[in-house]
Structure 1
């Protein structure tokens, strides 16, 4: 139940903050971390193998590095990470 409340808090932050790209990426990483912990505890409670947790962690690290590289390229091209300062059609 606690993981569900924490997950909903992460979804709320993701939906409510649309000003900065960095805050959006941090809330997505928070959601992935909560999902990782909930899957880990779920698999440990049934004594399953934890190889799926390693795969999930690898994909979440790849997702985080991709988001960070997109953030760096947008800051280099536009100068900041505000969503209002650039159009999606120009990128």
Structure 2
């Protein structure tokens, strides 16, 4: 039950914090960690193989690195990570 509360709290914070891209990335990482915790609880309750956890952690790390790379490119090209000052859709 606490995992669902954490997931709801993370989604709530994701939709409320829209000022900085870094805060959005941090809340996404919190949501992924909560999903990892729920997956761990599910696998422990039903005694499944834990190999899927390794795959999920690999995907989680790749997603985090990709977010940081995109944030770095965004800051270098636009000068800040404010979402209001970005003109992403003006291509």
**Shift in Å, 1:47:** 1.1
Consecutive unaligned residues in structure 1, runs of 5 or more: none
Match of 1:57 in 2: 57
Residue-by-residue CA offset, 1:29-82 (whole Å, 9 max, x unaligned): 000000001101110111110011111111111111001000000001111100
TM-score (ref. length: structure 2): 0.95
TM-score (ref. length: structure 1): 0.95
Consecutive unaligned residues in structure 2, runs of 5 or more: none
Q: Confirm or deny that 1:31 pairs with 2:31.
A: yes
Runs of 4+ that moved beyond 4 A? none
Structure 2: how far apart are the matches of 1:88 and 1:78?
10
Match of 2:66 in 1: 66
Structure 2: how far apart are the matches of 1:34 and 1:9?
10
Aligned-residue CA RMSD in angstroms?
A: 1.1
**Shift in Å, 1:89:** 2.6
